[in-house]
Amino acid sequence: MPPDHRFEDAPVADTPPRPPGPRDPPDPLDRLFGLERFGIRPGLDTIRRLMAALGDPQGAYPAIIVAGTNGKGSVAAMIDSALRAAGYRTGRYTSPHLVSITERFAVDGAAIGEPALREEAARVLRRAGALVRAGGLSRPPTFFEAATAIALSWFRRAEVDLAVVEVGLGGRLDATNVVTPVAGVITSIGLDHQEHLGGTIKAIAAEKAGVVKAGMAVVTTETAPAALSVIEEACRRRGARLIPAGRDTEIAGRPGTPEIRVTTPGHRYPPFRPGLAGAHQRSNAAGAIRLLEGLADAGLPVGAEAIVRGLSDVVWPGRLDLVRVPGRGAVLLDAAHNPAAAAALARHLRDAFPDRLPIVCAVMRDKDADGVLGHLAPCASHIVCTAPDTPRATPAPALAERVRRRAGAPPVTVEDDPRRALEAAWRHAGTVCATGSIFLVGELLAALRGGGGSGRRSIPR
């Protein structure tokens, strides 16, 4: 079963700052969020110039990079957890955030505090502003470029032993590609963000493989020949060592238990219960384990005991995350925002809830709504269509119409507000699922926790 979180024990959300007075300087986080207006602009020139102005902090520690379409956040969380179990002081940079922007930046598993984030953001934005005024930058950085610079700068200040860096979009032209990693993982590749990465699996794989650099070990969980051949060619051309995670790796479940047994060419691990639920996490676990084993070649050994403890203790909210709300019911939150992720969720729902359950669903306009619904609708006893508070959301009535057009569609309800949608789903059953959008999961988590903290906006990539 997925992790069971009870919000009666959840931390209280950050207290919103007081409104600025007329003489107060602009809030650094408001300035950071204001960079959203520049949108997504792939390219490395701006981030390289900005990092150089900051003294290239990314060179102060070794880095591990994690790219892919689905599963890269889970893999990054597993690797980070195991490294900490081995005694390393880690930095972890991931995106997007669900509730608070502070989630993106973690040292030793703890998110950055708001005061430290404001201080680091102010430092980076001052340097960026000076570069623009001096002509060193033709334009300000985008939100993601600035956030990446903040993370890499803060990790140096925090004196981490190494950093785990999740790619935001693609790889080749993503701001995170400013790091020179000692190792990396490329997770499964699917059709997503085609407007930026290309319309074929091969084109998208080429963008993901852009993180490959000379001398590094590259683990991949991808098995499809079209994508795998592209990754193999990138590693051959750049002099990197490719490790297919599934090759010579066996992961078997133990009958009647949630435990798994993992055997790799280098080790036979004792049975353990993964901290992240879902059959698809076995592939992610294989990728994390093979990378962790290979770090010994980079002088960063991680023992088998630490690997087992890290993968057992890992927490990654909003991914097959079962939340129990006293007096109301339970909700399985999963940020399945594309067809491949929805397929993985559907497999779990068929196994865990064979009689089907109500699903609260929202999908962004730029996502494949029909592909997502095609996997989820057969698992639903009822679908409540909703829309989180973002102009990117498909209007709930339009999403409901897409459901109704499907043959054999379950009953559909429209509730524009996600919180009312959750209440509507609970009227049909005590346990429900909410999925289809990272925005939806983040908004519901914020509501269940009783606040939104510094993450007043969500910016999924």
User: Does 137 fall in a domain?
Assistant: yes
User: Does 25 fall in a domain?
Assistant: no
Do residues 224 and 307 both lie within one domain?
A: yes
Q: What is the dihedral of CA 320, 323, 329, 331, to 10 degrees?
A: -30
User: Does 343 fall in a domain?
Assistant: yes
For the chain, the straight-line distance linking the first and the last C-alpha, in angstroms and rounded, comes to 29
For residue 368, what is the domain's CATH number? 3.90.190.20
What is the DSSP code string of 271-316?
A: PB--SS-STHHHHHHHHHHHHHHHGGGGT----HHHHHHHHHH---
Last residue of a domain, one of 267, 284, 313: 313
Do residues 54 and 193 both lie within one domain?
A: yes
User: Does 28 fall in a domain?
Assistant: no
pLDDT confidence of residue 59: 97
Do residues 437 and 382 both lie within one domain?
A: yes
The residue among 211, 168, 176, 165 whose CA lies nearest residue 192 is 168
Structure tokens at 43: 């390219």
For residue 149, what is the domain's CATH number? 3.40.1190.10
Q: Give the structural domain span for 263.
A: 39-313
Q: For 236-256, what is each residue's pLDDT tens digit?
A: 999 999 999 988 899 988 766
User: Does 10 fall in a domain?
Assistant: no
Q: 444 by DSSP, 3-state: which?
A: helix
pLDDT confidence of residue 194: 64
- Contact between 144 and 124 (Cβ < 8 Å): no
pLDDT confidence of residue 193: 66
Do residues 74 and 186 both lie within one domain?
A: yes
User: Does 15 fall in a domain?
Assistant: no
pLDDT confidence of residue 449: 80
Do residues 67 and 201 both lie within one domain?
A: yes
Sequence-distant (≥ 6) Cβ neighbours of residue 365 within 8 angstroms: 392, 393, 394
Last residue of a domain, one of 267, 291, 313: 313
Continuous H helices in 54-113: 72-85
| Gap between the Cα atoms of 166 and 241, Å rounded | 20
HSE-CB at 204 with a 13 A cutoff on CA atoms is 23
User: Does 13 fall in a domain?
Assistant: no
pLDDT confidence of residue 256: 66
Do residues 301 and 345 both lie within one domain?
A: no
Do residues 241 and 141 both lie within one domain?
A: yes
- Contact between 315 and 3 (Cβ < 8 Å): yes
Do residues 270 and 139 both lie within one domain?
A: yes
| Gap between the Cα atoms of 424 and 329, Å rounded | 12
| Gap between the Cα atoms of 342 and 240, Å rounded | 32
Low-confidence ranges of the chain (pLDDT < 50): 1-20, 22, 451-461
Do residues 243 and 351 both lie within one domain?
A: no
Length of the chain: 461
Do residues 184 and 147 both lie within one domain?
A: yes
Last residue of a domain, one of 286, 313, 340: 313
Do residues 198 and 286 both lie within one domain?
A: yes
How many independent structural domains does the chain possess?
A: 2
- Contact between 240 and 212 (Cβ < 8 Å): yes
Do residues 267 and 303 both lie within one domain?
A: yes
Q: Read off the pTM.
A: 0.88
User: Does 432 fall in a domain?
Assistant: yes
